[in-house]
Structure 1
Amino acid sequence: MARLSSYLLLTWIVLLSLFRTKFAEVLCHADENSALMEFKRSFKINMTDWQCAYPKVNSWSLGGSGDCCSWGGIECDEVTGRVIALDLSSSCLSGTISPNSTLFRLVHLELLNLADNSFNFSPIPYGFGNLSRLQYLNLSHSDFFGVIPRDISQLSRLVSLDLSASLVETLHLPNMGNFVHNLTRLEELGLSFVSLLSSVPLVLANFSSLTSLRLADCGLNGDFLGSIFQLPNLEVLNIRGNFNLSGIFPKLHRGAPLKSLLNKLSACNCYLSGSLPSSLGNLSHLTTLDLSGSNFQGQIPSSFANLTQLSMLALSFNNLSGDTWNWLVNLTKLTYLELSGNRLSGEFPSSIGNLKQLTWLDLSYNNLHGDILSALWNLKDLEDLSLESLNLHGVLDLNNLFILKNLRSLHLSFNNISFSKTFVNATSSRLSYLYLDSCNLIEIPHFIGNLSELVQLDLPRNRIRGTIPRWMWNNSKESLKYIDLSHNLLTGFENNQTDLPLPNLRYFDISSNLLETTLPIPPPSVMLYNVSNNFLYGEVPSFICELSSLAVLDLSNNALNGTLPPCLGSIGPLILLNLARNKFDGMIPHIYPDHCKLRMIDLGENQLIGIVPRSLGNCKMLEYLNLGVNQINDTFPFWLSELAYVRVIGLLSNKFHGPIEGYLSQLNFISLHILDLSNNSFNGKLPSELLQSCHAMKVIVGQDKLTYMNIHQWLDLSFISVGGSSMTYAMKLMNKGMEREYTKIPYIFVAIDFSNNKFRGFIPELVGDLKSLRVLNLSNNFLIGRIPPSLASLTVLKSLDLSQNNLAGEIPQQLVSLTFLEVFNVSHNRLSGPIPHGAQFDTFERSSFVMNEGLCGSPLPNKCTNGDTAPSPPSSLTNDNKEESLIDLDWKIVLAGVGVGFLVGVALENLIIDKKSSWFLHYLKRMAKGWKG
């Protein structure tokens, strides 16, 4: 009987375990149900976010099924009914997580995934430490900002942790070693784009369970690879983009634990040096190897022939050399091969023809020669081919080219080629992206007119002359989105038909040609329209107002005339407006609505009149404003200081007038780098309060931050295959009476020019607070008093012009400490005493000091008497009724050729790229299409 009872009890337990959901359905607990609903209500759903896949929380509802265990993205324990997994990745969430979020009540969670949402660059809150059972935590690519909270490091059960940031330097982790110290169970660790700014902690070498380590673009430094390569289970290693990592790639002996495990290794853009060790050939399970952008030298080891599982090999932009390609024959699984930017030489390797699975091949910027295209005939799957700057020359047979039926992208820029004119049936070709920059072409290749899927046509910097033929888009009217014909010798359009029948065109650049016609008419879809540097004439037609997608409009350097269309300020997406150096007259358009997105405006060198429209203050994102060399008659537009991002203001050579100092109680120029008020009629005191309000000028930016002011980051060029134009600020600078054009403005460039006005009074000591000044020009005013010694605090100053004033006293000896000073002019003043000597002062010419009767010493002919004692100064140092006549004399001297300040302008960057720099630009562009680490 007892045996029977035991048997029945055992049977009951088995049946209960098998059918427990039949007998007792476990529902979501009310407290967790409530916490989840409140968590949902704290967010908005943004379906337009590019990361958005499906809003899983839309299935959450108290009505209908109130059981949260059945909601999207949620998993409950089958026995307890507690929520153990919450996966809301790519769920279109937009908002912030507060420290008291109900999320932190879900204390039974073992998995939490909030990746690929938008938390609006808010901090990661404290509170995750409450979820002590977590084994998987993923907050990657969700727009968090700030320091990663330490309580996450208390989650000792974590097996997988991914905190990879959306953008570089948005997240910070001050001490990685302390943070990961307790996370010894980790198998996967992702901190890509998190700012670590340290060496890799040694403690990671003890993480024996680690299979995946992703530390791309983290600012790592020091020697890295040795200890990490001893991890016994590592399969994926990504340290790409850490430019300060150094050292020699470790040799991997045959017994190394990674030999049979590691399948992905990316260390591109790290400063690794030496030769590629032959022991890399022992990593026989590698499928991905990316060592691009380092400093490796020598030949590619023959042992690479053992890497037979490789599908991706990228060794671009090193110093690799040699002409031996035998190692390539065995790598038949390669789909991606990139060796550009090296010094590889010899005959083009015919063995590439054996790599029949290749879809991507880039051998650009090497010294290869021979019959290149014939070696590629067997690559039937090839989609992207780049052979830029290989010294190719002669006529390419298009019949060979179009054997590659799957070819989508062809890069042949920076070669000296032409194409056969025999009939080629290219209508079946899938070619979509064609790059023929700087190929010495004299005509547009005829086969282009046969392509039916062409999206991007890149033909700049050739010698193409004549008219633009309409046949070139015969078969690609619907597909063409990008046309660049800039820097050629084109004179017009066929039959003078200036309309472009391309309904989907987004990017149109025909700048720097010889076009002599009216403005070509783009379709409403165009986003970038650049026709600058031609001979276009006539008025701006009304079609401009119909370009509803227009973001960049550059009509500069033409002969256009008439008044400006009033609609220009209210084209919604417009970011850049450049109409400089034309013949426009009339008033500046006055309509700039609240949603104005303009960041750059250049109306310089026209014949505009009137005042600066107050509605420009609605353009809250404005960074650059140049109204110089017009006939604007206005007082100083003090309301410009309300624009928090404005960096450049150019009002030079107009009819601005009146004092500035009296309006300055509310000025606050937070970001201003360049202010040019020269050649106007401003008067009153030198505006010291304005100078005091220029906060960005008080902080010196390190030389290592040599980046340029541009709008590239604000322009959506996602429809372009590899990058696009870099729209940079440009300027003209008057230096020693000569005008020099700078095609880029570095962020470190800071300048003030108040020359050729009627400012009076003293130079304030507070000018010395503007420590980042590189150029200061106060010449041709009525300034009196002494040169303030505080100018010696301007330690990066390169040009100082105080000429044509009534300054008195000695030149401060402290100015000798300005070791960067290249231009110094105090001529035509009332200075006295000895000229300082030493450092840069020994290089300045006589013209820097002339017409100061009391100055003595080299380079002037009059010697100082009694040692350093100067001759007696002029009899009067005070201003009197003769002041105006003295200034009149000074103006005559100015007209004779003394520098008059500088002109600030905006232009698209039109540099001719030489081979040495173009391969690097090529690399930066194509990085966007590389594998995602």
Structure 2
Amino acid sequence: MTKFPHFLQFQDELEDLFRDDNRIEGLIPEWIWNKSKESMDSVWLGGNQLTGFEHNPVVLPWTRLRLLALWNNMMEGSLTVPPASTLAYFASGNRMTGEISHLICNVKSLIVLELSDNNLVGKIPSCLGNFSNDLMILDLKRNNFKGSIPEMRDLPLEHFKNCDAMKFKVDKLEYMNTIILPSIGGWILSQDYDITITNKGTTLSYEKVSSLITFVDLSSNKFTGKIPNSIESFKNLHSLNLSNNILSGSIPTVIGNLTALESFDISQNNLTGKIPQQLAGLGFLAIFDVSFNHLTGPIPQGKQFNLFQNDSYKGNMALCGSPLSCGEQPTPSPPLSSEKNDDSDSFLTVIIVSIGFGSRLIIGIIYGRKLATRCSEYIIIWFLLKLKKKTK
């Protein structure tokens, strides 16, 4: 199909318009939003050759629209703002330019916003940070944005005690996905998770995320306080990264009970005290970094600790023992800030973790930085309980 059917322009009570994956060219005609202004629920126009909207409205006037899909077209010009009622807006894979209008802040009901692979510029509106209680997916990659990423509301460390899915060994291979929008236009919209992570010096891309993968990355935020002892229950945790925060207190001895741990990074914090000897019993530990803290005393010896080099301990003036000597003074600690990263690294890393509440499995994410080499997606998936309540 290369054009919109002529008879549709006389329909004034359309609720769902499915014309995706055709070859419709040119502008989206004005009658599509004027004739069914009060009835339209979803518009699916992805995968065509559309170039924009006729008369280029700043905000589309549908009053009850819940889904607008424009992905993989040839849409040009500034980003058209969807109605305030919109739950999902897909506009990735187009040629849109200019800045994201501040009018997007009026669409507070958004659960999904995908604008990747365009030519959008300027700053990301700070109001997107206020959407984080409801916004489940935010995809802005491969544009030309500048400035700082809006602060999102992260995940308090004390919530670790509620994370059940990493407490038990998972034997059945399953892949993580979520229902984003139930029953819009007769369709249930779901999303498979895909991530790129770095672990043990190797970058791995996962088109689908196995339930066997248990990573927690809270790096490069501003978390304060102590590392909670409740982390002891994460028996199936493989990688824990709390680096580049403002954490204080000592390293909990209970970390030694995380027998599946392969990577442990708590560098660039304000941690004090000794490195617990119990950590020497972690037989799978291959990556260990406690650099640039205020740790004291001897370095544990034996097993995996015989393999770690000086870089694992630098910036702790009172640590001694192999591979350091007690007379050796490691390099001073740099300021605890993100200044060590240049602008190309100042992006948000998202590592997906499986989080269980009670008897139900829920998928969440952890925020950090270093996207340039560690994460190809900027996805925000918030807890689903709230969404379920809204859709009942």
1:630 aligns with 2:149: yes
Measured after TM superposition, the shift of residue 765 of structure 1 is: 3.2
Identity of aligned residues (%): 23
8 Å contact from structure 1 (residues 578, 907) kept in 2: no
One-letter amino acid of the structure 1 residue matched with residue 176 of structure 2: Y
**Measured at CA, do residues 827 and 517 of structure 1 come closer, stay the same or move farther in structure 2, by a change above 3 Å?**
farther
Instruction: Tell me whether 1:709 sits opposite 2:160 in the alignment.
Output: no
Tell me the secondary structure at the aligned position of residue 553 of structure 1: strand
Equivalent position of 2:298 in the other structure: 833
Picking from 9, 21, 24, the partner of 1:485 is 21
The within-5 A match list for 1:591-670 is: 600=136, 602=138, 630-632=149-151, 651=153
Residues 516 and 847 of structure 1: CA distance in aligned 2, closer, same or farther (over 3 Å) = farther
What's 2:107 paired with? Answer: 568
Contact 1:758 1:781 in 2 (8 A): yes
| 2:355 corresponding residue in structure 1 | none
1:703-753 deviation line (CA, Å, top 9, x unaligned): 4152313116x5227856xxx763234556576899877555555655554
Q: CA deviation at 1:696?
A: 3.2
C-alpha distance in 2 between matches for 1:768 and 1:537: 52
Deviations 1:257-302 (A, max 9, x none): xxxxxxxxxxxxxxxxxxxxxxxxxxxxxxxxxxxxxxxxxxxxxx
Distance change (3 Å), C-alpha of 1:790 and 1:811: same
Structure 1 residue 767 corresponds to structure 2 residue 231? yes
Task: Give the 3 Å change call, closer, same or farther, for CA 588–607 of structure 1 in structure 2.
Answer: farther
Give runs of aligned pairs for residues 533-548 of structure 1, distance below 5 A: 536-541=76-81, 544-545=83-84
Aligned length: 328
Q: Is the 8 A contact 2:200 2:263 kept in 1?
A: no
AA aligned opposite 1:564: L
Query: Does the alignment pair 1:494 with 2:25?
Result: yes
Distance of 1:871 and 1:522 partners within structure 2 = 71
Aligned pair partner of 1:585 in 120, 125, 138: 125
How big is the shift at 1:779? 1.6
In 2 relative to 1, CA 898–855 (structure 1 residues): closer, same or farther, beyond 3 Å?
farther
* Cα distance between partner residues in 1 of 2:315 and 2:301: 17
- Residue of structure 1 equivalent to 2:375: none
The Cα of 1:514 is off from its aligned counterpart by: 8.8
Aligned to 2:326: 871
SS at match of 2:254: helix
* Secondary structure of 2:100's aligned partner: strand
Contact 2:25/2:49, CA 8 A, preserved across alignment: no
Q: Is the 8 A contact 2:219 2:244 kept in 1?
A: yes
Which residue does 2:349 correspond to in 1? 902
- Counterpart CA distance in 2 for 1:695 and 1:772 is 11
SS at match of 2:256: helix
The structure with the larger Rg is: 1
For structure 2, which runs of at least 5 residues remain unmatched after alignment?
351-364, 366-377, 382-392
> Cα distance, 1:495 vs. partner?
3.8
CA distance in 2, matches of 1:842, 1:906: 38
Residue identity opposite 1:569 in structure 2: K
1:604 offset after TM fit, Å? 6.9
Output the CA distance in 2 between the equivalents of 1:776 and 1:760: 16
For residue 755 of structure 1, what is the aligned residue in structure 2? 219
Q: TM-score, normalised by structure 1?
A: 0.28
Which letter maps to 1:728?
D
Cα separation, partners in 2 of 1:833 and 1:563, compared to 1, 3 Å: same
CA distance, structure 1, for counterparts of residue 194 and residue 236 of structure 2: 19
1:702 and 1:607 mapped to 2: Cα distance? Answer: 41
C-alpha distance in 1 between matches for 2:278 and 2:344: 30
The CA RMSD measured in Å over matched residues stands at: 5.5
Structure 1 portions without partners, runs of 5+:
1-448, 450-468, 609-627, 633-649, 653-674, 676-686, 863-869, 876-884, 909-933
Alignment-mate amino acid for residue 303 of structure 2: G
Q: Is the Cα–Cα contact under 8 Å of residues 578 and 906 in structure 1 kept in the other structure?
A: no
Distance in structure 1 (CA, Å) of the matches to 2:202 and 2:347: 10
Q: Residue 906 of structure 1 aligns to which amino acid in structure 2?
A: I
Distance 1:536 1:874, change over 3 A: same
Q: Residue 827 of structure 1 aligns to a residue in which SS? A: coil
**What is the CA–CA distance in structure 2 between the aligned matches of 1:567 and 1:898, rounded to whole Å?**
30
Per the TM alignment, residue 794 of structure 1 is displaced from its structure 2 partner at its CA by 2.8
In structure 1, what is the equivalent of residue 69 of structure 2? 530
Contact 1:565 1:589 in 2 (8 A): no
For CA contacts below 8 A with separation 6 or more, give which structure has more relative contact order.
2
8 Å contact kept, 2:220–2:245: yes
CA 1:812–1:692 in 2, change beyond 3 Å: closer, same or farther?
Answer: same
Q: 1:703 to 1:717 in 2, by over 3 A?
A: farther
Does residue 791 in structure 1 map to residue 330 in structure 2? no
How big is the shift at 1:562? 0.9
How many angstroms apart in 1 are the aligned matches of 2:336 and 2:126?
34
Pairwise CA distance, 1:790? 0.7
TM superposition shift of 1:702: 1.4
CA distance in 2, matches of 1:711, 1:579: 16
Secondary structure class of the residue paired with 2:108: helix
- Confirm or deny: 8 A CA contact 2:129 2:153 kept in the other structure: no
One-letter amino acid of the structure 1 residue matched with residue 3 of structure 2: R
SS at match of 1:767: helix
In 2 relative to 1, CA 789–566 (structure 1 residues): closer, same or farther, beyond 3 Å?
closer
| Cα distance in 2 for residues equivalent to 1:569 and 1:897 | 30
- Asked if 2 retains the 8 angstrom alpha-carbon contact of 1:755 and 1:901, the reply is no
